Structure 1
């Protein structure tokens, strides 16, 4: 299990989208709840953003309060799309078999949430996908709803590969038996054993080892590489990583200074400077490197305009961004993008 505390764990910001859609379907305005949970709606459509686990837990708590539906986590999972999981969702669908897809999910589970460990275990003819969550407080409905969401998400992704032909033979959960257990079982599509000692979804092995019609090894590999790079960008616990995370969060409002980041991390300016020096870097270097790496990443996407990229990187004008990028790389953003596109055409 990741040694970070619950407050330090994070999840994909895009998980807010299915939660918001489920709230709307139940007649609740999600914008009010997002504000109450201190989640910026502008962040949740950005695939590079992450949400602190504590804020996501607060959102589940508010959703349960407003909807009064104890199965809200499973209902929200029903609204998940492959794109919600970033490249991991596409890699899941391009896997050779459902078992291969589950193995991929285990490998990259921290892309989805750093507070969860997934493990595959074989029991005779069964394959168990185990959920190891460090923080599930007894009688905490928000914790149970979050766990429901994770289990339901797996089932939704499996159905995207084989439709209703793939379903678990059973589900074990630490959640106490609810007043309406049939509602939970219908949403999961399986018999659920409540009050269990472990959280797991169990499949018959022969049901998940057949070749999928959507299998595409090349596409799966491309998205695996993307997931590897994304995971590497935040999985190593360090002060520099925390600084970069806060820089990315604040950039759209303009480039933050060191004092602002120190305040966001609840340390003094001097302490932050010392810790970064111990790690062989500085705030100025991290700010420039972060803007440069994000600029290169955004320029790979032709759907992002130069103006939009300028805003995301905290520049007041596209011309200011262009000058900075040329100073960093020796070429203008438009020329860099054109060169990438030309190289791509030649390679294809």
Structure 2
């Protein structure tokens, strides 16, 4: 981080301590250029988009998460795109059986080609992965188009986007139209109440005896209502590398996956006991790809299925 700041002519101290510090478009261009060079990865923006979460967008992220439907969330995102980046405007267009999300380049930023292209790649991956978080299923685009598309990157684009990609003058994602009317779980008041207001009623499990392990547990617990957090995002929050996080946990006799499992277990039992959310909703929030996986895990933890456990209570 220090090396990147130095190469980009930024003051890391001011960046960390001054809440009103602004980065110019030229500095942003320098940052992206140095990131590409240091990582030796021309698709770093695309990869970055798969790891970032809506919560990092501040008030914009909150508005998106509290929208009633996917359509409403996308409309809000479109109207507030200028708060995220000057480089693009976002448009959502409904068709007979599909809808498209298009990111069009704004004029006047040709002097910053690296930053603009990397941000475009980022927006494509970020949008797809956040739709995955808002929906109760894994959305696969029907099509994806990129101004930065190259045949040599075909496999990488397909691996991240889960569909074939092609060249286009704009960044475009196309999905089945029925996704638009899908309700967003975080917009439900009862679910919000359980996820946020009652979360501090949970106690750290006795099995986690180490100080660092408990800090990780509490962080995951406090942020679990957003999405299942990756080890990379947790490490960034603690300003350490993934390797250091793993080493510190190992010194206390734990792994990151063990703590994630403890968080899931605590939350699962709490949600089943205290709320009216369905097994499918709880399964999605806890990061399970399918409800069946959650049911198996819950039975392993308690000896009962979630439905049987709730009925007994």
Range class of TM-score, shorter chain: 0.5 to 0.7
Match of residue 32 from structure 1:
3
Counterpart secondary structure, 1:149 = helix
Q: Which residue is 1:189 aligned to?
A: 162
Paired residues for 1:64-143 under 5 Å = 64-134=36-106, 141-143=114-116
Q: Distance in 2 between matches of 1:46 and 1:121?
A: 39
Q: Is the 8 A contact 2:70 2:184 kept in 1?
A: yes
Question: Is the alpha carbon distance of 1:137 and 1:174 closer, same or farther for their aligned partners in structure 2, counting shifts above 3 Å?
Answer: farther
SS of corresponding position for 1:190: coil
Pair 1:40–1:169, CA change in 2 (3 A): farther
Sort the Cα spacing of 1:66 and 1:90 in 2 relative to 1 into closer, same or farther, 3 A.
same
Per-residue CA shift, 1:79-114, capped at 9, x if unaligned? 212221011112211211112111110011111012
CA distance in 2, matches of 1:80, 1:46: 22
Alpha carbons of structure 1 residues 185 and 158: separation in structure 2 relative to 1, 3 Å? same
| TM norm structure 1 | 0.49
Per-residue displacement from partner, 1:33-71 (whole Å, max 9, x unpaired)?
A: 122112333436876554222222221111111111121
Query: Corresponding residue for 2:185?
Result: 213
Distance in structure 2 (CA, Å) of the matches to 1:192 and 1:48? 39
Distance 1:160 1:69 in 2: 26
Within the alignment, does 1:169 sit opposite 2:142 as a pair?
yes
* 1:200 matched to 2:172: yes
Indicate how the Cα distance of structure 1 residues 111 and 47 shifts in structure 2: closer, same or farther if over 3 A, else same.
farther
Partner of 1:62: 34
C-alpha change, 1:156 and 1:176, in structure 2 (3 Å) is: closer
Give distance in 2, aligned partners of 1:46 and 1:205: 44
SS of equivalent residue, structure 1 residue 202: strand
Count of residue pairs the alignment pairs up? 190
Q: Which residues of structure 1 form unaligned runs of 5+? A: 1-29, 221-348
Look up the match of 2:241.
none
Question: Structure 1 residues 163-172 or 90-99, which shifts more?
Answer: 163-172
Flag the 1:80–1:197 CA change in 2: closer, same or farther, 3 A. Answer: same
Q: Distance between the aligned counterparts of 1:138 and 1:178, measured in 2?
A: 26
2:146–2:169 Cα contact (<8 Å) kept: yes
CA contact (8 A) 2:93 2:99 kept: yes
C-alpha distance after superposition, 1:232-263 (max 9, x if no partner): xxxxxxxxxxxxxxxxxxxxxxxxxxxxxxxx
User: Is the Cα–Cα contact under 8 Å of residues 129 and 200 in structure 1 kept in the other structure?
Assistant: yes
- Residue of structure 2 equivalent to 1:245: none
CA displacement, residues 252-287 of structure 1 (integer Å, 9 cap, x when unaligned): xxxxxxxxxxxxxxxxxxxxxxxxxxxxxxxxxxxx
TM-score normalized by structure 2?
Answer: 0.54
Is 1:158 equivalent to 2:163 in the alignment?
no
Separation in 1 of the partners of 2:64 and 2:19?
A: 17
Give, in whole Å, the separation in 2 of the partners of 1:111 and 1:146: 14
Does the 8 Å CA contact 1:64/1:142 hold for their aligned counterparts? Answer: no
Distance 1:203 1:113 in 2: 24
2:149–2:166 CA contact under 8 A, matched in 1: no
Q: Secondary structure at the match of 1:179?
A: helix
The answer to whether the 8 Å contact 2:101/2:173 transfers is yes
Which aligned runs of 4 or more in structure 1 are off by greater than 4 angstroms? 44-49, 135-142, 216-220
